[in-house]
Amino acid sequence: MNITIRQACKEDCVRLLELINELAVYEKAPEEVTVTLEEFEKAGFGENPVWKAFVAEQDGLIQGFGLYYTRYSTWKGCRLYLEDLLVTEEMRGKGIGKLLFDALVAEAVNMGYNGMTWQVLDWNEPAINFYKKYNAHLDPGWLNVALSKEQTHLLYGDGGL
């Protein structure tokens, strides 16, 4: 199997969004993907890019990706934050996830970061078992908290609060 791991480029965004939608279906939340191609491209390759990604490519087709950005922890300093790691369903179990994850770990080291962090759904046993192979610490003590675009606009959209 000939897999190439490389940094994503703007031309990859259409395929990356396809895979993001595949991930959302797997995570039982397909309706949650609301980012447009234009927003996604601008966020990754615009004037002030906020994300980067590694892609796993086989014969010109992206079969997986790891999207990340810098997270700053007041306790730990700069850390690589892994937003999403996905290998297409038909390519799972072939070592592609390991290749991507190893590239992400190497990136954290090369950037001089103080480690990396990410989230995993508590029911996603295959992912949890994968991360356990790296002796990753799973922290059950934190809850995810978020405000949607609509909520932020309701709170502050008209200069409110």
Residue of 72, 131, 134, 156 with catalytic role: 131
CA separation for the pair 107, 114 (Å, rounded): 11
Q: Active site includes 113? A: no
Which residues are known catalytic residues? Answer: 131
